[in-house]
Structure 1
Amino acid sequence: MSRRKMLTLLGVGGLTGIAGVGSAHPGGVTDDPTESDEHEVHRGLHNHGAPDPSQPLIDLDATHNSVVSSGPSAHVVKNLALVGRGERLLPNGTTDVWALDGYAYIGTFNTPCGTGAGFGSGELVDDLLGPGIAVFDVHNPNKPEYVGSIPSVAGSRTNDVKVANMNSGRILAHSNESCGGGPGGFELYNVDDPLAPQHLAHVQTDDMNAFLRDNFGFTDFGVHNLWFFTQGANDYIAAVVESELGNFQIYDITDPSNPVFVSGWGAESLFDSNVDWASTTDFGLILEADAYLFSGYGSSQNRFLHDIVVNEDGTRAYLANWDAGLVLLDISDPANPTLVSQAIEPSVGDGEVNSHQAFPNEDGSIVVETEEDFDPFTLTFDITSGPDADEYPAAEGAITSPIVELPGGEMSGPTTYVGLACDAATVPPAPSPDHVAVIQRGVCAFSQKAQNIVDAGYAGMVVFNDEARGDALVTMGGTAVDTPGLFVGHSTGLKILGVGSAADLVVGAAGESVSATAEPQRWGNVRIWDYSDESNPDLLSEFDTVCSANPSDPSCDPRGTYSVHNIIVEDDMVYISWYSDGVLIVDISDPANPVEVARYSPGGQEFEDQNGGIQDVWGIDKEKNSPWIYASDRNGGLYVLKELGSGSEKRNNRN
């Protein structure tokens, strides 16, 4: 079940949070689920050239981005070398990577969606470009060898994969997120023999709250990320569950064939820590918590959990809780997670919190956090005429032409209401070339609406939400259409058209004039926190690359995505997957002054041909105490890199 469906069931369509964002990577939402691909639709914002930097961006950088990468950016970097490829040319298809005991495992995104073929057979299937978990033998890192795939569940994707040596053996877990009506939860396998994975259990993940389960059917939610940990003789797995309440859930897998739910915790406890959120039946209170969870900072406003990391002794869980910030829980008693601290500084950077992932150093004194932000531009939307002239919330479409690339970075003009715009024959022709079509959400895909208004001669479009879903905003996804466009709430649409309700709408009626402007701002970056007093974390520094700090820098490929993604911390080094910036190593021996020391960032037509597209690094993993780094490229599959140089040699010879 999606959170959009939850909002409909709960009857809270008036919220302003961007629906469908916190549970997975913030992404596009379409009215046709077959067109849903979060990262592809985001990339649609950047398929064209970028403008020169604006003064607000320069001022922002001077104030907040004092740490900008000065490290190497050449195609070949001396101290980080590509040594092996596990080629998987599947555009936008590969997700996370994890390596253990001579094997590397990579997940699969929405396309191809899981078929279930061979699931639970105890054998790998030969289907490199298919769904599921692709397995590579990397005993010789210079020559990764594809050995087969662990089949996915029918109708679900396998975004995250983790493998660990537990008390019961070598255990693999992968997440399930529905991409075609399949189940959520996660799967557990014994991979003592990686070539013969033995399916142990399917774990269904439900909402923590019994009232929501029993009365609204809040069951079988997707899982986005997982983390193994052990306490003595007991094995556990922590899961990011895409539920309404209790996103952080712990399961005892000491007997991995019989997992047992232990506890849950969610950001609703930040809203009110005195409530037993697992047992409350106070529906009004649940609605208040829902409103809190769907409010936050910047454009992607929600406070749902995105990722988790547990420290090595299994007593601390670091929760990247999106706009609730970085949450530290004491899980010494897994049945009773307790809040230690909340690290959040909404005023820094571009005003987005977007806590995506966090990773501590060995003693937990330093924690590195990533902010994933796919929208490097600031959008302002105004009704410029009539009694309701004012500024209103809006979200730019991911399928539409970037407003920032229009003359003056502006889409403006008089408006005409064109209905649902699903049938080209019902769309009235544009009264003049500068008219903007106002469209009601529903029935057909956003891309279909967009193409119909292009064909009718409009200069752009404003889609407003339907009455049931109220003022919730979405980032319109689907197939790219060459027209600017944005999405506004239901009440905003009615104000544009000067009516009191949807019943008063008339196709072809003139509305008020509107204006939407976009200015370059920033992609997501890295934040470095001092946790020497874990109850009072202190933000020490931020780290940007040139392209994350300045989306208009001429060195940045306009097709690229320059937000940071995932990290691994070992000693004083942070190993980073940074989408189109590639793989970075950042030295945090002075955490107030992080320094980039290595980068793998190839480009050019030859690389794109062998990679199946532009560089787009999603996952990162590191063999502890060794020079091998594993990266997953969304387009190209598995990359094995080797850290070189005297510094890495010294680190790799530890006892």
Structure 2
Amino acid sequence: MRRQRKQRARRLAVLGAVTLALSAAVTGSSSAHPEHGGGREDFPGEGIADGLYKQHDGDEGHLPAVSRNVSVVGKAKVTNPSGAGNTGRVADVTAFGDYAYLTAFREPTCESTGVHVMDISDPTKPAEVTSAFIPTSDGSYVGEGIQVEHIDDSPFFHGDLLIHQNETCPGETPPGANSGGISLWDVTDPRSPKPLAMHVGDFTNTAGGLDPAPNQVHSMRMWTNVFDKKTYVALVDDEEGTDVDILDITDPRNPVLVNDGLDLGAVFGVDQPSPASLTSVFSHDMMIAKVGRRYVMNVNYWDGGYVLLDVTDPRPGKVSLVAESDYAALDEERLARGQEIAPEGNSHQSELSPNRKFMIGTDEDFSPYRVTAKIDSGPYAGQEYNATSAADTKPIDENTTVSGDTTYVGQACEAVPPGTGTALVERGVCTFQVKLDNIIAAGYTAGIVFQNVRSDCQGGSTMAAAGAIPYVFVNRYAGLRLLGVPGVTEANACTTPTPAAGGESTTIKSVFDGWGYVRLFGTDIPTRPGTTGSIRQIDTYSVPEAQDPVYARGFGDLSVHEVAMDPENNKLAYLSYYAAGLRVVEYGRNGIREVGAFIDEGGNNFWGVEVWKDETGEQYVLASDRDFGLYIFHYGG
């Protein structure tokens, strides 16, 4: 996942509004955000799994219903124009004025996606405005990242501006420029949204050239700087995952790319060398807050931790580091239960408290079991590596361990000689499914596919393949060590050729390490631009079931997803906790504790959470249920 910074051509001005109509999408290479299954296909149909939120498919079990200090004020189901139903349909939520906006995800089918518009003027009777549905382009979907802001200082636009991100449907590449980037809409009249600019963003690729369409965007956040009167938006770039892109959208019809060089590992050294498991370092999400005379962006940098940047002047060379966090050597929630294991990492989303003295961060983790792999023989005996199971193969869990000798069988695109144990396979030429079928036919009882020669050879992928044996993907560095190649390092693995034969013994097993949970930090952010501060972890919080192996299966996903700080209370926050429902926590110098919870009869699956006030000043909490639509809550603790 780590990448060397490259000098990239920059396209400073991007195209304005373009037509919404697209011809039918064609199959092509696809990509996904690193932690969400992906990697990029070497060729159309190679088989990269649609790993993001796969767990939402079907009817899962759930925790018992609960309503503690939380009451439902109203709720409304969304309508899927495709007719395919709502299982996994809903993603994020935001609200502005009398309307809420819910993004339409790629489940259950990646068609008719975009943004649902909900009238919440009467919170007890929210209703979808189906005629105002905001579509994204064919072959694209909208997920994590939507926002509405009122713009009144711009000479180019006055009104309410909505922005959403765009990602490409798995296995598809829409033709022309109508994919990726962000889309900007005028929702001054929410019942009649008007496009301002479609699919704008960073057009540079990792080779330094320009693509016809901007890179996919996983998330985004905009803000208006009161000092220079400009409006900006920061992007999570799927194609250059280590970068934070920033656009000037003061003229929302003609956005301008102003910064494409914020690789926080390379520029500010926010990654950490130990524990060795913290290898996935990239940007995932961000928020921006005014703190005195400066604007501070809290960036969630996955295994790089939580980072505070001064973006008062967002141009290259002007952004500075305020503070960053590091993960402890041992996972705190597991240590409290007597287990010594390295932390998962996975800083996903965070928000600062209203007084900027605290920050709550959410570590997202969908797998309660940690796959650990170790080389048992040869020059690298005792060294560990990461392995990712294919989508529909026998899982490596508490009942399944891979151990013993490996045998290199090349790319396994044709029938391979009979063998036993674990087949070691190089990626390329044919699909992951063909490789799996051939090694099964040859008699192997497990398979390891390692990355081929490429500039991003340290990246991982989730293979789309189905079979009755364990089948995992590892990076090239791990593959070459398993082959016993002398002198291989992380620095030279991407250019080191593959030998003709080899294979050391290995052990791959899993151990329960719980689902994702919450961190509370104390923050010191000086109000003067350019000055440094600090982030200090105070406490962690998890729903108890998420740390109990009894609940590892059959109860849905018990990971936290997002946090929304109460804007008027420096000690309350609201958490969307997927199948563990809505959680309300109280925080402060003495730690963090739960003070409210809600799970509906039949279960919930909450993705987004947002605090909203109606025109009378009454405060509510909005949550987006993946399989239903909008919930409106009132906390009464």
Q: 1 or 2, which has the higher helix percentage? A: 1
Instruction: Tell whether the 8 Å contact from 2:2 to 2:459 is kept in structure 1 after alignment.
Output: no
Q: Could you tell me which residue of structure 1 aligns to residue 51 of structure 2? A: 38
For 1:459-474, list aligned pairs within 5 A.
459-468=445-454, 472-474=458-460
Deviates more, 1:560-569 or 1:31-40: 31-40
Quick one: structure 1 residues 246 and 395, their matched pair in 2 at CA, closer, same or farther if it must change by over 3 Å? Answer: closer
Q: Could you tell me which residue of structure 1 aligns to residue 257 of structure 2? A: 261
For 1:224-243, list aligned pairs within 5 A.
224-232=218-226, 234-242=229-237
SS in 1 for 2:383: strand
Cα distance in 1, alignment partners of residues 577 and 323 from structure 2: 27
Q: Could you tell me which residue of structure 1 aligns to residue 279 of structure 2? A: 301
Cα distance in 2, alignment partners of residues 132 and 22 from structure 1: 18
Instruction: Tell whether the 8 Å contact from 2:625 to 2:631 is kept in structure 1 after alignment.
Output: no
Match of 2:75 among 84, 91, 95: 84
SS in 2 for 1:170: strand
Q: Give deviations 1:85-116, integer Å, cap 9, x for gaps.
A: 324543334321112222222223345787xx
SS in 1 for 2:245: strand
Q: Could you tell me which residue of structure 1 aligns to residue 182 of structure 2? A: 186
2:149 maps to a residue whose letter is A
Instruction: Tell whether the 8 Å contact from 1:41 to 1:478 is kept in structure 2 after alignment.
Output: no
Instruction: Tell whether the 8 Å contact from 1:30 to 1:478 is kept in structure 2 after alignment.
Output: no
Match of 2:402 among 391, 400, 411: 411
In angstroms, what is the RMSD of aligned CA positions?
4.0
Match of 2:507 among 499, 511, 515: 515
Deviates more, 1:383-392 or 1:169-178: 383-392
Instruction: Tell whether the 8 Å contact from 2:398 to 2:511 is kept in structure 1 after alignment.
Output: no
SS in 2 for 1:474: coil
TM-score, structure 1 as length reference:
0.74
Give the drift of 1:205. Answer: 2.0
Cα distance in 1, alignment partners of residues 127 and 60 from structure 2: 37
In the alignment, does 2:330 pair up with 1:325?
Answer: no
SS in 1 for 2:66: coil
In the alignment, does 2:151 pair up with 1:137?
Answer: no
Quick one: structure 1 residues 135 and 478, their matched pair in 2 at CA, closer, same or farther if it must change by over 3 Å? Answer: farther
Instruction: Tell whether the 8 Å contact from 2:515 to 2:546 is kept in structure 1 after alignment.
Output: yes
Instruction: Tell whether the 8 Å contact from 1:541 to 1:591 is kept in structure 2 after alignment.
Output: no
Match of 2:522 among 524, 530, 541: 530
Instruction: Tell whether the 8 Å contact from 2:2 to 2:280 is kept in structure 1 after alignment.
Output: no
Q: Could you tell me which residue of structure 2 aligns to residue 165 of structure 1? A: 150
Instruction: Tell whether the 8 Å contact from 2:242 to 2:283 is kept in structure 1 after alignment.
Output: no
In the alignment, does 2:466 pair up with 1:476?
Answer: no
SS in 2 for 1:596: strand
Instruction: Tell whether the 8 Å contact from 1:156 to 1:177 is kept in structure 2 after alignment.
Output: yes
1:81 maps to a residue whose letter is S
SS in 1 for 2:173: coil
Give the drift of 1:173. Answer: 0.5
Give the drift of 1:203. Answer: 5.6
1:621 maps to a residue whose letter is E
Instruction: Tell whether the 8 Å contact from 2:5 to 2:266 is kept in structure 1 after alignment.
Output: no
For 1:245-284, list aligned pairs within 5 A.
247-263=243-259, 266-268=262-264, 271-272=266-267
Q: Could you tell me which residue of structure 2 aligns to residue 396 of structure 1? A: 388
Q: Give deviations 1:493-544, integer Å, cap 9, x for gaps.
A: 45545678877547xxx84433212111132221111114550221111111
Deviates more, 1:375-384 or 1:493-502: 493-502
Q: Give deviations 1:107-145, integer Å, cap 9, x for gaps.
A: 23345787xxxxxxxxxxxxxx72111222222333332
For 1:43-62, list aligned pairs within 5 A.
none
Structure 2, unaligned stretches of length 5 or more? 10-29, 80-84, 153-157, 332-341, 487-495, 527-532
Q: Could you tell me which residue of structure 1 aligns to residue 326 of structure 2? A: 344
Cα distance in 2, alignment partners of residues 481 and 300 from structure 1: 30
Q: Give deviations 1:218-252, integer Å, cap 9, x for gaps.
A: 98222222223223383513222415498333333
Q: Could you tell me which residue of structure 1 aligns to residue 65 of structure 2? A: 75
Cα distance in 1, alignment partners of residues 445 and 120 from structure 2: 53
Cα distance in 2, alignment partners of residues 133 and 594 from structure 1: 34
For 1:193-212, list aligned pairs within 5 A.
193-202=189-198, 204-206=200-202
TM-score, structure 2 as length reference:
0.76
Quick one: structure 1 residues 94 and 453, their matched pair in 2 at CA, closer, same or farther if it must change by over 3 Å? Answer: farther
Q: Could you tell me which residue of structure 2 aligns to residue 174 of structure 1? A: 164
Cα distance in 2, alignment partners of residues 329 and 484 from structure 1: 42
Instruction: Tell whether the 8 Å contact from 1:29 to 1:36 is kept in structure 2 after alignment.
Output: no
Give the drift of 1:36. Answer: 3.7
Cα distance in 1, alignment partners of residues 329 and 91 from structure 2: 31
In the alignment, does 2:432 pair up with 1:441?
Answer: no
Quick one: structure 1 residues 109 and 597, their matched pair in 2 at CA, closer, same or farther if it must change by over 3 Å? Answer: same
SS in 2 for 1:340: strand
Instruction: Tell whether the 8 Å contact from 1:47 to 1:559 is kept in structure 2 after alignment.
Output: no
Cα distance in 2, alignment partners of residues 43 and 309 from structure 1: 26
Give the drift of 1:34. Answer: 6.7
Instruction: Tell whether the 8 Å contact from 2:402 to 2:508 is kept in structure 1 after alignment.
Output: yes
Q: Could you tell me which residue of structure 2 aligns to residue 54 of structure 1? A: none
Q: Give deviations 1:358-402, integer Å, cap 9, x for gaps.
A: 101111111111112334333332343456544341313142333
Give the drift of 1:448. Answer: 4.6
Give the drift of 1:30. Answer: 7.2
In the alignment, does 2:608 pair up with 1:619?
Answer: yes
Quick one: structure 1 residues 478 and 146, their matched pair in 2 at CA, closer, same or farther if it must change by over 3 Å? Answer: farther
Cα distance in 2, alignment partners of residues 394 and 246 from structure 1: 20
Cα distance in 2, alignment partners of residues 559 and 427 from structure 1: 41
Instruction: Tell whether the 8 Å contact from 1:298 to 1:352 is kept in structure 2 after alignment.
Output: no
Give the drift of 1:480. Answer: 5.0
Cα distance in 1, alignment partners of residues 116 and 595 from structure 2: 31
Q: Give deviations 1:472-500, integer Å, cap 9, x for gaps.
A: 24142325544323223335445545678
Instruction: Tell whether the 8 Å contact from 2:119 to 2:128 is kept in structure 1 after alignment.
Output: yes
Give the drift of 1:187. Answer: 1.0
Quick one: structure 1 residues 517 and 139, their matched pair in 2 at CA, closer, same or farther if it must change by over 3 Å? Answer: same
Match of 2:592 among 571, 581, 594: 594
In the alignment, does 2:371 pair up with 1:379?
Answer: yes
For 1:502-581, list aligned pairs within 5 A.
505=500, 511-532=503-524, 535-550=533-548, 552=549, 554-558=550-554, 560-570=556-566, 571=569, 572-581=571-580
Instruction: Tell whether the 8 Å contact from 1:305 to 1:320 is kept in structure 2 after alignment.
Output: yes
Cα distance in 1, alignment partners of residues 498 and 592 from structure 2: 58
SS in 2 for 1:359: strand
Quick one: structure 1 residues 565 and 451, their matched pair in 2 at CA, closer, same or farther if it must change by over 3 Å? Answer: farther
Q: Could you tell me which residue of structure 2 aligns to residue 582 of structure 1? A: 581
Q: Give deviations 1:314-345, integer Å, cap 9, x for gaps.
A: 72211112233222122333443322112223
Q: Give deviations 1:141-194, integer Å, cap 9, x for gaps.
A: 333322232110233222222112221211110112233324322111111111
Deviates more, 1:151-160 or 1:466-475: 466-475
Q: Give deviations 1:448-490, integer Å, cap 9, x for gaps.
A: 5335544554322111222336852414232554432322333
Cα distance in 2, alignment partners of residues 245 and 499 from structure 1: 29
Quick one: structure 1 residues 43 and 517, their matched pair in 2 at CA, closer, same or farther if it must change by over 3 Å? Answer: farther
SS in 2 for 1:621: strand
Structure 1, unaligned stretches of length 5 or more? 11-19, 50-72, 115-128, 274-288, 609-614, 648-655
Q: Could you tell me which residue of structure 2 aligns to residue 487 of structure 1? A: 473
**Greater relative contact order (Cα 8 A, min sep 6): structure 1 or 2?**
1
SS in 2 for 1:324: coil
SS in 2 for 1:311: strand
1:402 maps to a residue whose letter is P
Cα distance in 2, alignment partners of residues 220 and 459 from structure 1: 43
Percent identical pairs in the alignment equals 29
In the alignment, does 2:357 pair up with 1:361?
Answer: no
